[in-house]
Amino acid sequence: MKVVVVGAGEVGFHLADRLSKERHEVTIIENDPQKHSMLRSKLNALVVEGSGASAQALEEADVAHADLFIAVTRHDEVNLVACLLAAELGAKEVVAGSKSLDFSRAEWAPNASRLGISRIINPQMVVADEIMSMIGYAGAAEVAEFAHGRVVFLGFPINAQSPINGVSMRTLGNIRGIYRLIVTAISRGDETIIPRGDDMVEVGDILYFVCKREDLPAITDLFGFEPQKTRRIFILGGGRVGSEIARRLAHRHYRITIIDHNLERCEKLAGSLRNVQVLHTDGTDVSTLRNEGLEDADVFIAVTQDEQSNMLCSLLAKRYGVPRVIALVDRPEYLQLAPSLGIDACVSPRTATVSAMLKYVRRGEVVDIEVLEQSEAEVIELELPKESPILGKPLKALGVPKSSIVGAVVRKDGVLIPSGDDHFEPEDHVIVFTLPDGVAQVEKFFA
């Protein structure tokens, strides 16, 4: 696939790096001359110097023959102009990043479509969506829903009190028929593996599995993942992410307290958010937060622009008895460190945005995709074509790529958590987990 990326910021660079490693033909357009030598040394990609809003730069990047054009500079205007030009030149799929809510809301989508833009992605809204999903699944470090919520993919941290600590995959497999789940992966330190029969669950692991949503209560009880009632939520950071989460949660009748150190922002929040308590203070002002009920909170969410502050304040909240803390963190080393410090879940704006964009990269009938925060493994929902050669054959005879595992099969008449004796049918939706090095094989296998 020929991909053109405009903007070599966090998202643009990460996307170009990932796609070039997957051997896509990648071109990156960057206006900052100080970045050009770095891009050429670190990326297996063509680097074009210039603005994404420049017709000359787009022609040099051969946008007319691009299968996918993505504009993710810091400037919405540049992204939109670049996408309009790319669509006019003939790029097949055109995706824009936008910080403005005006362009990214669903009601503006028809306008974007008429202009030739496939989708406008707002990083803040993608992050808000992910955090909202986490709140609905107490205790989970990673959450993804597929097939309109009928299938859930969850990652749960394992502690010393967990009844499955020290249990082998073979033993878990013996109860699989009762509880209908598939363990897809274990994250241990900086390594993520697809476990086999003799692999053991250990303290500190994050255990990932797929199940039907309706079976989740029984499964979480089996694993010792105690359900927690969520009523009181503290949010640190009143920016776009924090205010959007507060707005949505208040609409669902949670008790919300939002904290920000900026007085002007607090005044705006107080005027725009209904049924939300606004505190003008710092996230490290433990005395004030305790006076306002921090120790009665069920969840603490830190979403400021300072990821170190997010981690520190989350740990303080944990120290004072908040059962669950969620932090906005982007640096890979922080994402790996956070679970060992006691932070229950992290959300990376970069990973969440890239996940939203990868849907347009993956070959085949991709319906949805989720990238794991820590390992960058992928969970993909795709529709099998009617003429697929893998239809009608037992899964155990198909030779599914070793770095992937089929977690669920969705049909019109229900959801199947498959065994090796099950088979695929035309138009099945398949939920597949794959490690990063297996993406190309999965695409080829299910195409």
The string of pLDDT tens digits covering residues 285-342 is: 999 999 999 999 999 999 999 999 999 999 999 999 999 999 999 998 898 888 889 8
Condensed to tens digits (0 to 9), the pLDDT of residues 87-135 reads: 999 999 999 999 887 666 666 667 777 888 988 999 999 999 999 989 8
**120: three-class secondary structure by DSSP:** strand
So what's the pLDDT on residue 256?
98
- Please enumerate, as own/partner, the contacts of 42-49 that have beta carbons within 8 Å and a separation of 24 or more: 42/17, 43/13, 43/16, 43/17, 44/20, 45/16, 45/20
Give the pLDDT of residue 99. 87
At residue 373, the pLDDT reads: 80
Q: What angle do CA 134, 138, 144 make, to 5 degrees?
A: 35
State residue 224's pLDDT score.
77
Helix (H) or strand (E) holding 27: strand 25-30
For 67, 238, 243, 293, the CA distances from 270, given in Å and listed in that order, are 46, 10, 10, 19
At 364 the pLDDT is 62
Residues 6+ apart with CB under 8 A from 46: 26, 27, 28, 61
Spell out the domains of the chain, with CATH numbers in brackets: 2-121 (3.40.50.720), 127-131+230-352 (3.40.50.720), 140-223 (3.30.70.1450), 359-446 (3.30.70.1450)
Give me the pLDDT at residue 155, please. 92
Would you state the pLDDT for residue 109? 66
pLDDT of residue 216: 87
Q: What is the pLDDT of residue 185?
A: 95
Task: Tell me what pLDDT residue 283 has.
Answer: 94
Distance CA 338, CA 269 (A): 29
Low-confidence ranges of the chain (pLDDT < 50): none
